[in-house]
Amino acid sequence: MKRWQWLKDLLDPAAGSAGQLFTLGDRGDKPAVETTGPTLLADAQVRAEGLLTHIDNLLEAKDQGAKALEKAGDLSANLDENLERLKKIFRMPANKDLIIRELQIATQPPTRAVVCFMEGLTDKIVINEHILQPLMLLAHLDHHVDGEGEAGRTQFSIDTLIQRLLPGHQTTEKYDMAAIAESLLAGDTVLFFENVSTAVSVETKAPPGRSVGEPKVEQVVQGAQDAFVEAWRVNVALVRRRLKDPRVVTEILTVGRVSKNYVGMMYIDGIANPKLIEEARRRIEAIDVDVVNGAGVLEQYIEDSPSSMLPGLLTTERPDRTAAYLSEGNVALLADNAPTALILPVTFWGLLQTAEDYALRWPFGAFIRYIRFAALLITVLVPALYIAVVNYHHEMIPTELMLFVASSRENVPLPALLELILMDLTFELIRESGTRIPSLIGPTVGLVASLVLGQAAVEAKLISPLMVLIVAVTGLASFAIPHYVTSYGIRAWRFLVLAGAAVMGFYGLAAVLFLMVVYVSGLRSFGVPFLTPLAPMRTRSADATGRGPLYRMEMRPSYARPLDKQRQQEIVRTWDPLAPEPEERAGSGTKKGGKS
């Protein structure tokens, strides 16, 4: 019997729990009412208490004018009541993150108060030196005496407190518990007082975060070497450092019912199109989900075609690039906890550009863009062309070349398509593992995998040397696509085109390619056709597929429909002896556009 039980325990992983198996609704059970009931009831009670207090405060304030009515929130004058509600809202005592520190303000007589803040999100030195110390030690000094108080007594008032006792740089009055909770979660410190239905919030934010570092994905040789971090306020500052214009606006939006993530929406008033700003705001405000963590998630909630293979917004970790786009009339979204900015709208050509294109002299900047475009074509087409030629159109290439291809494949037992798919998948595997492996051993593993595997496969006559070359060139070309998410899409396309070529040679290849072009032609990014300014063709742009001299880019790109179209005078190199005189400039030729 024991042996039988032993065998049963061995075979059934749940048998050991002997009927006391814990399940969490894996049979579709709904949570019992007795479990959820008290929680719902407690929440309703807190809300009801708040509502009743709010009504009382409104009734009290109704004869005292509009200002008093504005200040009538749901806070009670009873400190204990307020504390009790706050504790219920923050699920205390189970929750240990909220710190509540009771104290006596050194007025005469002392005033009872409570300081609340979230552990880990605040700067404790600021709390100690700029909140607790003045309140507990300095409040009794004569110069803090309110003029209206009795002689020898210090009268407590919120105004005095804010103006003379709390040296914090951002101090605001709060009248609602919801606003207080939000402030606490943002890292502020909130003070409650006895017999006062107003709380005071002092800015003490110090969330954990790293310092500004170098870009990881968008590295450049020439140009700035700073990159965004997870703290959105730092990111806004990095952009503002580059755009010292009072017209630069940062609107703060909040997304996520639970995450309540801040999203800073930046634009330049007077340049960015108000319709674009309004649409961005509308889409962000429409997000109604629990958690929006990071730019990648936010992007999927607001882009025009979330199932598209190409991104509808540009993600960048570079403040200089963000500033450049803002100056051209685009809108940037800086989400908290995301070390990237989202730029909208974006065009296909924008996804193939880098910040360095502008730091280089224009012929090189233009050349490197053409190289990137060629890299895109190589990534998508080369494997498919090889399969189409080898399987269907032998006559397409010169006989000598065909004989060379045939001789290199002579001893390979696999069909060319299978050979290519195997190599391509291996390459993708190396790339993926190279990304996930810790950075210390990553390059070594990548090197070993690519060299040893390739060499071994060729020597084992499993793969032809030509195939290794094709996959290597394709892989190398895919690395030249600067935008990370775009390169995913392009790599996926490669397999689709390959499938077309494998089934119907050139016809299949051309058909899939055509479908892709039609598809991309139909894409829009915040209402802007993806292939503009090529299709639909807009005013001639010196900065789309190629790049013209910076001093000739007088106009902002037209695709974002900026309000102010001109960004610089027609002749900016006025010092140049060859530059026309002012009167000649007035009548000189056409103006060229910018980034597209």
Tell the residue number behind the tokens 């960048």, with chain if given.
316
Q: Check residue 398 for interaction with another protein (CB under 8 A).
A: yes
Q: Which stretch binds another protein (CB under 8 A): 305-313, 455-463, 504-512, 583-591?
A: 504-512
The string of DSSP codes covering 36-80 is HHHHHHHHHHHHHHHHHHHHHHHHHHTTS-HHHHHH--S--S-HH
Q: Check residue 396 for interaction with another protein (CB under 8 A).
A: yes
Can you list the alpha helix ranges (DSSP code H) found in 336-464?
356-359, 362-391, 399-408, 416-436, 442-448, 454-459
CB of 529 to another protein, least distance (A): 6
Cβ(321)–Cβ(357) under 8 Å?
A: no
| Chosen residue from 206, 510, 550, 571 binding another protein by CB under 8 A | 510
CB of 372 to another protein, least distance (A): 19
Q: Check residue 312 for interaction with another protein (CB under 8 A).
A: no
Q: Check residue 212 for interaction with another protein (CB under 8 A).
A: no
Residues near 112 by beta carbon (within 8 Å), at least 6 away in sequence? 79, 102, 104, 105, 193, 194
CB of 103 to another protein, least distance (A): 58
Report the alpha-carbon distance of residue 96 to residue 99 in Å, rounded.
7
Closest listed residue to residue 525, CA positions, set 302, 329, 294? 302
| Chosen residue from 535, 564, 566, 584 binding another protein by CB under 8 A | 535
Q: How far is CA 29 from CA 19, 32, 34, 157, in A?
A: 18, 8, 14, 55
Assign 529 to helix, strand or coil: strand
* Token output for 326: 């803002």
Assign 97 to helix, strand or coil: coil
CB of 495 to another protein, least distance (A): 19
Q: Check residue 405 for interaction with another protein (CB under 8 A).
A: no
> Nearer to another protein by C-beta: 31 or 536?
536
> Nearer to another protein by C-beta: 181 or 516?
516
CB of 396 to another protein, least distance (A): 5
CB of 558 to another protein, least distance (A): 12
Q: Check residue 594 for interaction with another protein (CB under 8 A).
A: no
| Chosen residue from 40, 536, 566, 576 binding another protein by CB under 8 A | 536
For 510, list phi and psi in degrees, rounded to 5. Answer: -65, -35
CB of 504 to another protein, least distance (A): 7
| Chosen residue from 270, 274, 443, 522 binding another protein by CB under 8 A | 522
Tell the residue number behind the tokens 């233009």, with chain if given.
366
CB of 378 to another protein, least distance (A): 16
CB of 535 to another protein, least distance (A): 4
> Nearer to another protein by C-beta: 158 or 504?
504
What is the amino acid identity at position 403? Answer: L
Phi-psi region of 111 (alpha: psi -120 to 50; beta: other; left: phi over 0): beta
Q: Which stretch binds another protein (CB under 8 A): 119-127, 293-301, 478-486, 518-526?
A: 518-526
CB of 30 to another protein, least distance (A): 35
Residues in contact with another protein, shown as a per-residue x/- string from 453 to 492 under the rule CB under 8 A: ----------------------------------------
| Chosen residue from 288, 395, 581, 583 binding another protein by CB under 8 A | 395
Q: Check residue 286 for interaction with another protein (CB under 8 A).
A: no
CB of 584 to another protein, least distance (A): 31
Q: What residues form DSSP beta bridges with 593?
A: 541
For 541, list phi and psi in degrees, rounded to 5. Answer: -110, 135
Q: Check residue 246 for interaction with another protein (CB under 8 A).
A: no
- Please tell me the count of residues contacting another protein according to CB under 8 A: 27
Please list every residue from 2 through 61 that binds another protein, using CB under 8 A: none
Cβ(255)–Cβ(261) under 8 Å?
A: yes
The string of DSSP codes covering 103-170 is EEESSSS-EEEEEEEETTTB-HHHHIIIIIHIIIIITTSGGG--TTSPTT-PPP-HHHIIIII---SS
Q: Check residue 529 for interaction with another protein (CB under 8 A).
A: yes
For 12, list phi and psi in degrees, rounded to 5. Answer: -110, 105
Q: Check residue 517 for interaction with another protein (CB under 8 A).
A: yes
Q: Check residue 307 for interaction with another protein (CB under 8 A).
A: no
Report the alpha-carbon distance of residue 464 to residue 414 in Å, rounded.
10
Q: Check residue 496 for interaction with another protein (CB under 8 A).
A: no
Residues 287, 291, 294, 300: is their CA dihedral positive or negative? negative
Q: What residues form DSSP beta bridges with 569?
A: none
Terminal C-alpha separation, the chain: 78
* Token output for 251: 């609107």
Closest listed residue to residue 333, CA positions, set 272, 274, 278, 281? 281
Q: Which stretch binds another protein (CB under 8 A): 2-10, 259-267, 357-365, 535-543?
A: 535-543
Residues in contact with another protein, shown as a per-residue x/- string from 343 to 382 under the rule CB under 8 A: ----------------------------------------
Assign 17 to helix, strand or coil: helix
Q: Check residue 531 for interaction with another protein (CB under 8 A).
A: yes
Q: Check residue 280 for interaction with another protein (CB under 8 A).
A: no
> Nearer to another protein by C-beta: 442 or 527?
527
Residues near 324 by beta carbon (within 8 Å), at least 6 away in sequence? 355, 358, 595
Q: Check residue 586 for interaction with another protein (CB under 8 A).
A: no
| Chosen residue from 504, 550, 571, 579 binding another protein by CB under 8 A | 504
Q: Check residue 449 for interaction with another protein (CB under 8 A).
A: no
Q: Which stretch binds another protein (CB under 8 A): 75-83, 236-244, 307-315, 394-402?
A: 394-402
If one counts every other C-beta atom within 10 angstroms of the C-beta of residue 410, the result is 9
Q: What residues form DSSP beta bridges with 250?
A: 266
Q: Which stretch binds another protein (CB under 8 A): 3-11, 52-60, 243-251, 500-508?
A: 500-508
Q: Residue numbers of the site for another protein (CB under 8 A)?
A: 392-393, 395-398, 401, 504-507, 510-511, 513-515, 517-519, 521-522, 529, 531, 534-537
